[in-house]
């Protein structure tokens, strides 16, 4: 019997039926009022989700396109510092190196960022700082507010990847001094993959790079978005815009505070299960760095093969993520982004517990009961 796989990954995530249905509509003129109204509604709803009153632009392209648009439009030929403690911070650094002289301040994946090194780099004239807020490769939440304060002190631009936190955790772009913030559609927004939304401060516009990418030029994107009705400079992925509007409506209906609280509760339940199982969390937390509230990572015990655990769960119809790059085979990650709620968390925790038992590994305790305890509060 066919059944849909339950995606418990840090993106892509399950999509609500109304979001899926939106993509089946007949083709639309992307220079029409109907499209402009769709774009405008997305922007109206996303601004409070970002915590911003700044300009908001939607690009046809993944979160990585948003990253490159930000760096290519505002950091070209400037001195860049990229904070790295995971795969996606590393990606921001690699993009940065294409556009300007870049210092990658690297920490072990999942460990605290080198904020002392950042302060020193800023003292020495760094002009742009890039950082991933929620580093899903190591399931760690990085201190955006603290980095924003350092950038403000030294008058540097702050480019923040909020791809896996915006819409699922606290995000205060304006309050934290974020000049460019980026989200991907297929993460906490629970929309299809293929769009990136970017907020841009006036400070960033004032420092616009002279030579910018052709397709990912945010000045062009702003010029088109400022038209009435709103437009994009090149042909947009119209079905994805329509789907994103539906997902935004659901966010507005739930309320961003309620949505954040739900994400926090679901991740707390997964962490409680892992603690009861006796598994070690991936991130090294401290006063500033926290465990992610949209994906939870655990180290495997010695002797457990990643493929056996995740493979057995996938056969049961539940798919979650393994480790990437240097963490491949060492960790597994359970996402709780978008519309994930109590039933999906309980099903996943039960499946993981069962699959460990099938491999012959004895966990320390009943993680399912621990998750139920959190979720029933």
DSSP 207-229: T--SS--STT-HHHHHHHHTSSS
Quickly tell me which residue has 């690297």 as its tokens: 106
Q: In this predicted model, what pLDDT tens digit does every residue of 330-345 receive, in sequence order?
A: 999 999 999 999 999 9
Quickly tell me which residue has 């580093």 as its tokens: 135
- At 237, is the pLDDT very low, low, confident or very high (cuts 50, 70, 90)? very high
Q: Are 152 and 184 in contact (CB under 8 A)?
A: no
Angle between helices 63-74 and 218-225 (to 10 degrees): 100
- At 1, is the pLDDT very low, low, confident or very high (cuts 50, 70, 90)? very low
The mean pLDDT value for 220-230 works out to 98
Q: Are 245 and 236 in contact (CB under 8 A)?
A: no
Give the pTM: 0.97
Candidates 34, 28, 43; CA nearest to 225 is 43
Q: Are 125 and 134 in contact (CB under 8 A)?
A: no
Segment holding 12, helix H or strand E: none
Residue 9 is encoded by which pair of tokens? 């990954």
Count of alpha carbons within 13 angstroms of residue 336, beta-carbon side: 30
In Å, the largest CA–CA distance within the chain is: 63
Q: In this predicted model, what pLDDT tens digit does every residue of 3-60 receive, in sequence order?
A: 789 999 999 999 999 999 999 999 999 999 999 999 999 999 999 999 999 999 999 9
pLDDT at 112 over 70: yes
The mean pLDDT value for 248-252 works out to 98
Mean pLDDT of the chain: 97
Quickly tell me which residue has 């029409």 as its tokens: 32
- CB neighbourhood size of 370 (10 A): 20
Count of alpha carbons within 13 angstroms of residue 274, beta-carbon side: 23
Say what the alpha-carbon torsion angle 364, 369, 374, 377 is, to the nearest 10 degrees.
Answer: -150
Question: What radius of gyration, in Å, describes the C-alpha atoms of the chain?
Answer: 21
Residue 296 is encoded by which pair of tokens? 């939870």
Q: Are 100 and 80 in contact (CB under 8 A)?
A: yes
How many residues appear in the chain?
377
- CB neighbourhood size of 225 (10 A): 20
pLDDT at 74 over 80: yes
pLDDT at 356: 96
Query: What is the CA angle 348-297-248, rounded to 5?
Result: 70
Bridge partners of 161? 132, 182
Residue 298 is encoded by which pair of tokens? 């655990």
pLDDT at 67 over 50: yes
Q: In this predicted model, what pLDDT tens digit does every residue of 356-374 receive, in sequence order?
A: 999 889 999 999 999 999 9
Residue 244 is encoded by which pair of tokens? 């994103």
Q: In this predicted model, what pLDDT tens digit does every residue of 167-222 receive, in sequence order?
A: 999 999 999 999 999 999 999 999 999 999 999 999 999 999 999 999 999 999 99
Q: Is the dihedral of CA 186, 191, 193, 196 positive or negative?
A: negative
Angle between helices 256-277 and 367-375 (to 10 degrees): 160
Candidates 224, 128, 236; CA nearest to 185 is 236
Percent residues over pLDDT 70 in the chain:
99
pLDDT at 2: 54
């Amino acid at each position: 019997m066919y059944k849909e796989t339950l995606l418990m990954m840090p993106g892509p995530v399950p999509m609500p039926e109304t979001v899926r249905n939106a993509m089946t509509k007949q083709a639309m003129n992307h220079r029409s009022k109907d499209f402009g109204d769709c774009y405008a509604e997305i922007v109206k709803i996303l601004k409070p989700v970002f915590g911003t009153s700044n300009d908001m632009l939607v690009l046809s392209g993944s979160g990585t396109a948003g990253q490159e648009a930000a760096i290519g439009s505002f950091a070209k030929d400037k001195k860049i510092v990229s904070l790295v403690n995971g795969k996606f911070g590393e990606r921001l650094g690699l993009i940065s190196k294409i556009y300007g002289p870049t210092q990658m301040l690297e920490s072990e994946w999942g460990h605290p960022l080198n904020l002392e090194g950042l302060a020193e780099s800023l003292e020495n004239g760094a002009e742009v700082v890039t950082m991933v807020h929620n580093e899903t490769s190591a399931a760690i939440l990085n201190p955006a507010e603290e980095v924003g304060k350092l950038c403000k002190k030294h008058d540097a631009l702050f480019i923040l990847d909020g791809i896996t936190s915006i819409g699922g955790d606290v995000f205060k772009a304006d309050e934290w001094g974020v000049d460019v913030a980026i989200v991907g559609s297929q993460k906490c927004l629970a929309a299809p993959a293929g769009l990136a939304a970017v907020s841009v401060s006036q400070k960033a516009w004032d420092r616009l790079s002279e030579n910018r990418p052709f397709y990912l030029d945010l000045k062009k994107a702003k010029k088109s978005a400022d038209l009435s009705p709103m437009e994009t400079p090149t042909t947009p992925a119209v079905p994805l815009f329509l789907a994103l509007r539906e997902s935004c409506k659901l966010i507005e209906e739930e309320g961003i505070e309620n949505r954040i609280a739900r994400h926090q509760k679901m991740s707390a339940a997964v962490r409680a299960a892992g603690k009861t199982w006796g598994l070690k969390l991936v991130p090294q937390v401290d006063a500033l760095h926290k465990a992610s509230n949209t994906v939870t990572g655990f180290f495997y015990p010695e002797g457990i093969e990643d493929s056996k655990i995740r493979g057995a769960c996938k056969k049961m119809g539940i798919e979650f993520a393994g480790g990437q790059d240097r963490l491949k085979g060492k960790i597994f990650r359970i996402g709780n982004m978008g519309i994930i709620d109590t039933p999906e968390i309980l099903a996943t925790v039960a499946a993981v517990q069962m699959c460990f038992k099938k491999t012959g590994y004895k966990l320390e305790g009943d993680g399912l009961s621990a998750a139920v305890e959190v979720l029933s509060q």
